[in-house]
Structure 1
Amino acid sequence: MKRTSIPKPFWALTLSPLLLAASCGYAGSGDSPPAQGAAAGDPAGAWDGDFAIAEHGSFSEPWASAFIPGTSMLFITEKPGTAKVYDTVQDRLMTVSGLPQVDYGGQGGLGEVAFLPGESANAVGTRTIYLTWAEAGEGDTRGAALGRGTLSCPLADSCRIDDLAVIWRQSPKVTGRGHYSHRIAFSPDGQHIFLASGDRQKMEPAQDRQSHLGKIVRLELDGTPAGDGAIDGALDDVWSMGHRNILGMDFDAQGRLWEIEHGPKGGDELNVVRKGANYGWPQRSNGVHYDGDPITDHSADDGFAKPAVNWTPVIAPGNMVFYSGTLFDGLAGDLLIAGLKSEAIVRVATDGDSAREVARYDMGERIRQIVEGPDGALWVLEDGDGGRLLELRPG
């Protein structure tokens, strides 16, 4: 990476796309080789892949972020159970009270934050807020929980969540502290919640229709089931099944829901989410078990939904977002994936239900989260204790 110091907190970073070939090659894998520079087919004069980056402090194991609708304020969750709000215009950091008690450890703690799309502040300046977290159960068990409350920021240095109540719980609660997933995506009409529910590293329950593990669920805004009978014999909120550890979900401009999930040893997957579809885990994967034992690969007649893209070696996604702004010329409509193990932003172009990786931008650190700001800038959180908040603009 090339870094050049410039005035104030900004520094310029030339992010040349990485070429990371899969160990088994791209042929037959569902991948396309990463392109150099901007995506193939971008018009002349489009953004060339360079970023100017500003650093805005560091956080305690940041996990998720979302802009409060209609504001320049970014809500940031920290896995140990704390949260902050950063005013990106006033350069001001605010504390948050009223947070839930979380079961912190492993991959668990405070997780996702989301706001109703387009919701305006009411007369008292509050907005509906949704949070997910790892919740302790009886004995040595735990599971994901989804809560809803109201957020207000009455003081210059603090915000408060009131009336936070659990509206959905992952069932069953199990041992271990991995694969909660608990990512949120609102339907384009703002009327439903799609919630990722990871397999909790238990594998086989992802094929159990009476378990939430390894599923995407569809809920009303109050948390009641809205699966609409997507899968015969399944719980009322189950929308799709056979997932492993989903860490990113977003809708594209055409209203299709996409998700990205961690494979085992290899086989990270990007999927179009279809009502009632079974994505096969753990019966098949394009990766292998950690001990090297094989998992049946996709075949044309195995009955499982096939990934649009898969990665071996893995990129280890943190989250993903479809870019809709105009600040980065030529980027609109493409998918940006935060890469943990890959320490990169992975850019994917989609065409209908198909997709291909077109560029990879080296960040030099594990990237947990990437979101689009109100003016089209990208706001990135690094992973781990001391993970920095970075503002990315065209270089």
Structure 2
Amino acid sequence: MSLSRTLLFTLALSLPLVALAASSLPSSLPPSGPKVQILTEGLEYPWSLSFLPSGGFLLTERSGQLVTLGSDGQVLQKLDVNLPEFYAAAQGGLLEVLLADNFAQSGRLFLSYVCGTANANSVCLASASWQDNQLTDVKKIFRATPDRRGAAHYGGRMVQLPDQSLVLTLGDGFDYREQAQNKANHLGKIVRLQQDGSVPADNPLVGQAAVAAEIFTLGHRNVQGIVYDVATGSLWSHEHGPKGGDELNLLQAGVNYGWPVATTGIDYTGARISPFTRFTGMAEPVYQWSPSIAPAGMTLYRGEAFPQYQGNIFITALAGKALHRLVLDGDKVVEEEKLLTELDSRLRDVRTGPDGLIYILTDGPAGKLLRLTPQ
């Protein structure tokens, strides 16, 4: 059995259906909580953060810049990324940067971004090589179909699985929410791809007629957080609900997560989206938020700097302006704590660093890179 097939089989069995020098910020947290430091200021709508093996960071700015930071947070370079058919507007633009697992040897990375025009755009995925602080060999390897109008609900988060395949989240396009149940396209789906953009032979819907073979899961609204836990083999995601109904989900290959048939959220007009909060054959969320917190980034902590946080999920919230810490007992959330509320800031991304510290990007035209350290 291939590693890829073994991973899907394991998931199917184990998961239920259901720049400045650092300076401290004021904190109202108890002494046992983390200390907040500013590493970098003046970032333009930062969206995604990654860690360079030699130290320092690569991050994306939604307008199309790939930013290199030193280990102290100093901005070393802002590179305008020349991506095929790049389109930036509203929620669209340059989204995730993901370094391949063998990046230290290969220099390979992946960029999710919005491509097309105002009247016909979608999410694209590109691969590239990072050499001497420059992008080379940039290739578009996947474009989600169909194109849509508008500039909202793209998803765009990525994770690499142990079999080296890539999982990419795709939003429902806001005005196209019913398409999240249509297996013939990519709207409101999470897809799984090989590193050249091709379809893994063991994807759950491969071989079905009139079905997009890239689909890994379906029935999503706007997934902006996904993480693979190497300790348990679990694949977690969260997604924006409308007015309420934000969800935390455990992903299982081929499963339908309900949107918009089953949701606890209501429309922004106050109208009911669906009469169902649950529906036969569709997985229920592990956890949900109403009113909406607008979840953005996510990390599952497996570092050593914060032993009290081992195995906890951290989620950044935009509308909620907080860092949410979720304590797990198996596949259940047993406790939630809101951190960093004193910052009164929209929080975009959160990552566990190779040093075991927690790093956060704030959202906005003057975004910051923050670092959480033990007291």
The TM tier, using the shorter chain, reads: 0.7 to 0.9
Amino acid across the alignment from 2:296 = G
Amino acid aligned to 1:96: L
Residue 366 of structure 2 corresponds to which residue in structure 1?
386
CA–CA distance in structure 2, aligned partners of residues 199 and 170 of structure 1: 11
Of 136, 139, 148, which residue of structure 2 is paired with 1:174? 148
Could you list the runs of 5+ residues in structure 1 that have no partner in the other structure? 1-7, 17-36, 38-46
CA distance in 2, matches of 1:119, 1:140: 36
In structure 2, C-alpha distance between the alignment counterparts of 1:90 and 1:383, rounded to whole Å: 17
User: Separation in 1 of the partners of 2:202 and 2:333?
Assistant: 28
Letter in 2 for 1:93: L
Matching residue within 111, 114, 118 for 2:95: 111
Bigger drift between 261-270 and 51-60 goes to 51-60
Task: Report the equivalent of 1:248.
Answer: 225
Q: 1:349 aligns with which of 327, 342, 348?
A: 327
Distance 1:384 1:227 in 2: 41
Give the superposition deviation at 1:230: 1.4
For 2:215, the equivalent position in structure 1 comes to 238
2:293 to 315, 333, 338: 315
Aligned to 1:95: 78
What is the Cα deviation at residue 71 of structure 1?
2.2
- Alignment check: 8 A CA contact 2:64 2:80 kept: no
The amino acid that maps onto 1:170 is A
- 3-state DSSP class of the match of 2:198? coil
Residue 63 of structure 2 corresponds to residue 83 of structure 1: no
Which structure 2 residues correspond to residues 31-180 of structure 1 after superposition, within 5 A? 48-68=32-52, 70-89=53-72, 91-100=74-83, 102-121=86-105, 127-137=107-117, 140-152=119-131, 154=132, 159-180=133-154
Instruction: Look up the match of 2:270.
Output: 292
Cα separation, 2, equivalents of 1:328 and 1:99 = 39
Amino acid at match of 1:108: G
- Rounded to whole Å, the distance in 1 between the matches of 2:242 and 2:75 is 40
Task: Tell me which amino acid in the other structure corresponds to 2:61.
Answer: E
Q: Which residue of 2 aligns with 1:338?
A: 316
Match 1:200 to one of 155, 165, 173: 173
8 Å CA contact 2:39, 2:73 repeated in 1? no
Q: Call closer, same or farther: CA 1:111–1:92 in 2, change over 3 Å.
A: closer
Aligned twin of 2:243: 265
Q: Deviation of residue 352 (structure 1)?
A: 2.5
Indicate if the aligned counterparts of 2:65 and 2:81 stay in contact, CA closer than 8 A.
Answer: no
How far the C-alpha of 1:394 sits from its partner, in A, is 1.5
- The alpha carbon displacement at 1:118 in A equals 4.6
Contact 1:277 1:305 in 2 (8 A): yes
Report the equivalent of 1:10: 23
2:325 and 2:337 in contact (8 A); partners too: yes
Deviation at 1:247, TM superposition (A): 0.3
Q: List aligned pairs for 1:353-392, cutoff 5 A.
A: 353-361=331-339, 362=341, 363-392=343-372
**Which amino acid counterpart does residue 197 of structure 1 have in structure 2?**
L
Distance 1:302 1:98 in 2: 45
Question: What TM-score does the superposition give when structure 2 sets the normalisation length?
Answer: 0.87
Q: Which amino acid aligns with 1:95?
A: K
Instruction: Give the drift of 1:358.
Output: 2.1
Tell me the equivalent position of 1:31. Answer: none
CA distance in 2, matches of 1:15, 1:51: 10
Amino acid at match of 1:71: S
Indicate conservation of the 8 Å contact 1:367/1:381, yes or no: yes
Partner of 2:261: 283
Structure with greater helix share of residues = 2
Change (3 A) 1:12 1:60: closer
Percent identity, please.
Answer: 31
Alignment check: 8 A CA contact 1:240 1:277 kept: yes
CA distance in 1, matches of 2:266, 2:80: 43
Cα distance, 1:54 vs. partner?
2.9
Distance apart, 1:15 and its partner CA:
4.3
CA 1:106–1:91 in 2, change beyond 3 Å: closer, same or farther? closer
Q: Quick one: distance in 2 between partners of 1:56 and 1:98? A: 21
Whole-angstrom distance in 2 between the partners of 1:120 and 1:133: 23
Match of 1:42 in 2: none
Tell whether the 8 Å contact from 1:227 to 1:239 is kept in structure 2 after alignment. no
- Aligned twin of 1:44: none
Deviation, 1:57, is 2.2
Q: For 1:138-193, what per-residue CA distance to the aligned partner results, in whole angstroms no more than 9, with x for missing partners?
A: x71100000001012x3xxxx21001110010100110100110110111x15110
Q: For each residue in 1:29-60, what CA deviation from the matched residue of structure 2 results, as whole angstroms up to 9, or x when unmatched?
A: xxxxxxxx7xxxxxxxxx82232423322211
Kept in 1: contact 2:24–2:35 (CA 8 A): no
2:10 is matched with: none
Q: Give the gaps of 5 or more residues in structure 2.
A: 1-20
The amino acid that maps onto 1:192 is: S
Give the Cα–Cα distance (whole angstroms) in 2 for the partners of residues 250 and 220 of structure 1.
18
Q: Which one is further off, 265-274 or 288-297? A: 288-297
- Corresponding residue for residue 183 of structure 2: 209
Deviation at 1:356, TM superposition (A): 3.9
The change in CA–CA distance for 1:92 and 1:263 in structure 2 (over 3 A counts) is: closer
Does structure 2 conserve the Cα–Cα contact (< 8 Å) formed by 1:81 and 1:104? Answer: yes
CA-to-aligned-CA distance 1:74-113 (integer Å, 9 cap, x gap)? 1110111112110114845223255325211110001000
Runs in 1 of length 4+ with deviation above 6 angstroms? Answer: none
CA RMSD, Structure 1 to Structure 2 (Å): 2.0
